[in-house]
Each structure stands twice: as C-alpha cells, then as structure tokens.
Amino acid sequence: MSISLPSILRRFYGRRTASALVLILVGFLPGRASAEATAEEAVAFLEAAEARLLKLAVAAEGASWVYSNFITHDTELLKAKAEEALIAATVEAAMAAPRFDGLDLDPDVARRLGLLKLSLTLPAPADEKATQELTRITTAMQGRFAKGEYCPDGAAKEDCLDVTAMGRILATSRDADEQLEIWTGWRSVFGDGRGEYQRFVELANEGARGLGFADLGALWRSKYDMEPDAFAAEMDRLWGQVQPLYEALHCHVRAKLVEAYGEEIVAPGKPLPAHLLGNMWAQSWSNIFDLVAPSEEGAGFDLTTILEERKVAEEEMVKYGEGFFSSLGLDPLPPTFWERSLFRQPKDREVVCHASAWDVDWEDDLRIKMCIQITEEDFGVIHHELGHNYYQRAYKGQPYLFRDSANDGFHEALGDAIALSVTPAYLVKLGFLEAEPPASADLGLLLRMAMDKVAFLPFGLMVDQWRWKVFSGEVGPDAYNASWWALREKYQGVVAPVARDEGDFDAAAKYHVSAIVPYSRYFLAHILQFQFHRGLCKIAGFEGPLHRCSIYGNTAAGDRLEAMMAMGLSRPWPDALEALTGEREMDASAILDYFAPLKAWLDEQNEGRTCGW
C-alpha cells in the first residue's frame, strides 16, 4: 500500500501557516482593535496564508524526504523541527479562519476557508511545549517502525531481519513454526510503545478539541463533505455491499488451509490464524494463492516468474508504469523523477522502504521512494504510486488549498484503477505473453485478484474503527490490544496465532498506525477503484466482462481522467466522481460486477462447508 496526497499533508500533519502572519492578517496588530471582518479581508487572508503555507510545506517535505532516505539522529531532529513549525502554524491558521464565518463569500473562497479548518491530520495543542512533545513522540513512533528489527536467538547483528526481509519469508514459507516465529518477532519490536501511543492520543485529542472537534477521530471523519456520523454510516453501507463476497472467499481459503496445515493448526469453522496468510498483517492473501488455486480451471499466468525470467530491473518496472499513463495521452514524467527517486534498498544506510509517492516542491519535483522487488505485487504498486504523481501534477495549477484529491480515497484509487487494466491483453501488448489466455483461465486470475483486493476490505475498514474508539475514549490504554484483536476477528475472521495480552501493542506493527496515517482512504480506494474502472471502461467503449477490460492506449479515457484529476479538491467529491463516472454516490456494486464469475464458483465450492466464524 502507499501514502496518498502530497506526502507531508498525507503522511503526517497537514497544511499550516505562521502565527505571526496570522496575527497580522486577522487584525491583532499591537495597539489596534480587531475590526469587523470583511469579504475582502478573507481573500487577502487566504492569499497571504496560502503563500506562507506552501513555503512551509515544501520545507517540511524536503526534510521528511531526507529523513526517510537517511535515517539518523540528526535527520530525525531536522524533520521533527520542520514539522513542529508546520503543526503550530497550521493550528494558528485554522483557528483564525472562523473569523470569516457567516460572510457572503465567493464559493471558492468559502470552500478554501472550510478546508483550512479541516486541513490538519494531526492538530497540535496550542501550548508550544505540548506541540514539541507531540512531534517528538510521532517522530519516535515512525522511527521505531523504520528501524525495527527482529534478531533470532543467537543471531549476529548483520543477520537480524527488518520488516521487508520478514515479509519475504512470510510470503514464501509454508512452515507454520517459521511463520509463527517471524510473525511474533516483528511484533516484539512494539510492546513498549503503548505508553508513547497513549500520550500521543492525549495530545492529539487536545489539539482536535482546540479546533472544535470532539476528538481526533471526529476531525478525520469530517473531511468527506458530510457529517462525521454520516461518514461512519457510509462506510458501514459500503461494507454491507461486499461482505457476502468476502465471506465466500474466507470460507474457501480456510478449507484449503485446513488441507495444507491440518485441523490442529487451522480449525474448521473458526477464524483464520493470522500468520498463515502470506502477509505480515493478513491484509492481502495473494502470496498463498498456490494453496488455493483452482486446479481444474488453471491458475492463469505468473507475472512474477515472467518478470524474473526476463531479468526486468527496477527502473524498467517503473518505465512500464509510466508507459501506461503515456498511452492515455498524459505527459511523461520529468527527468528529475528518474534522477531523484529511490528504487532500490541501499546497503549502506537505513531507509523507510514503505512505498510512497512524493511531490517535493508541490509542483514538478515528482518522486517515488520504494525498495522495489521484482514481483507481480510491486508491478501493481508502481502503477499505484505513479497514480499519485500524475494526480499531483494535474492539480498543481489550483490554489494551494485545492491541491489535493477530491477525497483521500480518490488519490489511493486512481493508480489501482489503472492497475486493473493490467490484464492478459495488456501483457500481450507489452510482449510478456504471446497470446491472451482463454476465458477458462479467468477464474484463476480473478481468485488471485480477490486474494488481494477483496481480502483487504475488512482490514481497511477496521484499522480506523479501532482508532476512532481509542480517540473517543471508548477503548482505553488497558484494552488497546484486546480491542484490536476483537475488531480483527469481527470483520476479518482472523485471530492471533498465539495468546496476546496488554503487554503487547500489535496495532503499532502496522506502518499507518505508527506513522499516524488515516486508513479509511484505503478502504474507500478499494471501492472506488472498481467504480473508476467501470466508468473508464464505458468511456473507452469496452463491451464484455468487466475484469477483461483494459483502457491501455485509450486517449478518450485518458482525457476524462485528466480532467477529473485537474479539479483537485476544488469541488465536493460527488462532483468529481460524476465527472469521471456519471455517478454521484460511491457504489461497491462494481466490485460485485468484476468478481461475479468468481462468486458463483466460490458458492459452488462452499456447498456443504461450514462458513462464517
């Protein structure tokens, strides 16, 4: 998975301005009484504030890039310092903006002021010392994840494993004991982070309340052009549309795991053990496709094997992604992208390997940072990350506060919608396949895709469900871990393979929890990408099963896509969705359309089985 939006805004804290500037702009100059606000002052406030915000954001983005690529004590301090200034300044700007509430403003001005009040992902308390403490804690949490290693008993330092190495083992091992050791080893890094997280929650909630929100979760849920409670209900509605498909997949996968590991390890009718699903967080199951492949229909092709046999290098993987966007009529990436991006894990220093897209100057300095593996998964991730970059460039002409996607799910969905066009027909055009496989191979392809996309849905939902409960106080520090696993069992039907207690802090073992990245965007992205794909395929004039559509080479689809991206955040997301698809409501039925043949097959396979958990 990746980070969406320009990376400081998306990954950490949001947009900010300087306190001195705000004091001047809102009329609190020494010796001068505050005058009644006017529409003209609102425009002047925005123009000056946005100019300052951009300067601060670029500085913080650059500091964050350096830290992520050269993790040292000093770069950590520099990053924290830049973000500390950014946090404090944005709080001041957000608290100044309500002065213009109730004025008869131009709609664009009113929207920008509203977005300014909602622009923070992590608002800091007004107290300067509390702000400093918050930035130190969040930087330390990110550093714990980035530098975390598991050292097997007796292992030398050079033989210790980071999360990338452990992920490779979980992806390929079929030894339950080895899988369990790796799974528990990574989580051992985070047990003593509970107190740190508790303090983060206290400080972040203090900042959110200063902006008029009940807690940080309420602030996060307010960013979707609807009331916070309405957004929570919308998430539940969308999950209800796809839940039957997930449960059918879960039932079939469990039956195959019972065959592979035996009933002592995988109990029929019970939740799935988290360590056996081929992924550190059991959020994608595609790495265990070999255990569940439908042999009678064939497993389709193996893109990882094709890439390895052709000795495709990391830069070539990215070139293929760029080529897809170019085929739609979009301009190539700038030369600086190739000069400044990180494609390989360095051997001489620690870096944050988690894939992410960057727009360092908020205009044309586009980059990705990714320790690329030559795999089918990373082939898709590259398309995803480049989607962020093309989106960033498309809206660069908007005012600063509109330089964002229509909602954060749009940013995540865009690249994945492109990746849905990585079909056999497309791979034939690339020369990876000699001919498109027959329709009889579609079942294997759909199952492989579902092991990634459908398997992710409940995880994408529950991460923020957990945080909303923590931020609201419904779940206290003495129940962090119990609540995490209760939600995983409820939504995913997944359980920890060994007993966990409140001495553990397993939520922090997920990057987005340690890095304070809201996660609902990823759930929305998995819904929207199929809706985008269905809409783009209609524009391209495709007729046939949705899973066989590729818009590669279709400039009509590219024109419509670029027009939507160029809107940025200037309009509510239903307007942007309508511009691309003709629909104004998020609709998970496109997922059901895409996987319809698989659902029919799963129902046949599950006859006579005990499903559910």
* Residues 225/572, Cβ–Cβ less than 8 Å: yes
369 sits in which H/E element: strand 366-369
Choose, from 250, 275, 383, 384, the residue flagged as catalytic.
Answer: 384
The question of whether 149 is a catalytic residue gets the answer no
Q: Compute CA distances 403 → 13, 110, 114, 208, 570, whole Å.
A: 15, 16, 14, 23, 8
Choose, from 275, 354, 383, 533, the residue flagged as catalytic.
Answer: 354
The question of whether 419 is a catalytic residue gets the answer no
141 sits in which H/E element: helix 128-147
603 Cβ partners below 8 Å, 6+ apart?
A: 248
Choose, from 480, 522, 552, 594, the residue flagged as catalytic.
Answer: 522
Choose, from 388, 411, 533, 547, the residue flagged as catalytic.
Answer: 388
Q: Compute CA distances 161 → 166, 170, 354, 369, whole Å.
A: 6, 12, 15, 20
The question of whether 388 is a catalytic residue gets the answer yes
The question of whether 533 is a catalytic residue gets the answer no
The question of whether 385 is a catalytic residue gets the answer yes
Q: How far apart are CA 319 and CA 331, in angstroms?
A: 13
Name the E strands within 419-552. Answer: 494-495
Choose, from 97, 146, 355, 417, the residue flagged as catalytic.
Answer: 355
User: Distance between terminal CA atoms of the chain?
Assistant: 27
Longest dimension (CA), the chain: 83
The question of whether 250 is a catalytic residue gets the answer no
Q: How far apart are CA 410 and CA 527, in angstroms?
A: 10
Give the orientation angle of helix 194-210 with respect to helix 128-147, to 10 degrees. 140
Choose, from 252, 275, 383, 512, the residue flagged as catalytic.
Answer: 512
Choose, from 76, 84, 412, 562, the residue flagged as catalytic.
Answer: 412
143 Cβ partners below 8 Å, 6+ apart?
A: 71, 76
- List for the chain the helix, strand, coil content (%; round to 5): 65, 0, 35
The question of whether 512 is a catalytic residue gets the answer yes
The question of whether 412 is a catalytic residue gets the answer yes
Choose, from 385, 413, 491, 519, the residue flagged as catalytic.
Answer: 385
Nearest Cα to Cα of residue 304 among 379, 375, 378? 375
Residue 488: what residue type? R
Q: Compute CA distances 4 → 106, 337, 386, whole Å.
A: 29, 17, 11
Nearest Cα to Cα of residue 555 among 323, 319, 325? 325
Name the E strands within 457-576. Answer: 494-495
Residues labelled as active-site residues:
354-355, 384-385, 388, 412, 512, 522
